[in-house]
Amino acid sequence: MCIQMAEEDDLNLPRAAINKMIKEILPQVRVSNEARELIVACCNEFIHLVSSEANEICNKNTKKTIMPEHVLEALEALGFGTYVTECKEVLAECKHVAQKKRRGSSRLENLGIPEEELLRQQQELFAQARQQQLEQEQQEWLQQQ
Q: How many CB atoms lie within 10 A of CB 111?
A: 11
Q: What is the largest CA-CA distance in the chain?
A: 84
- Least confident piece of the model among 9-18, 75-84, 86-95, 132-141: 9-18
pLDDT at 101 over 50: yes
Give pLDDT, residue 24. 94
Share of the chain above pLDDT 90, in %: 67
pLDDT digits (tens, 9 = 90+) for 49-89: 999 999 999 999 999 999 999 999 999 999 999 999 999 99
Question: Could you report the per-residue pLDDT of 33-52, keeping only the tens digit for each?
Answer: 999 999 999 999 999 999 99
Residue 109 pLDDT grade (very low, low, confident, very high; cuts 50, 70, 90): low
- Please give the mean pLDDT across all residues of the chain: 87
Q: So what's the pLDDT on residue 7?
A: 52
pLDDT class of 142 with cuts at 50, 70, 90: confident
Contacts of 58 (CB under 8 A, 6+ apart): 64, 65, 66, 67, 70
Q: What is the pLDDT of residues 113-126, one digit of tens each?
A: 788 888 899 999 99
Distance (Å, whole) CA 117 – CA 106: 17
- Residue 31, helix vs strand vs coil: coil
pLDDT at 28: 94
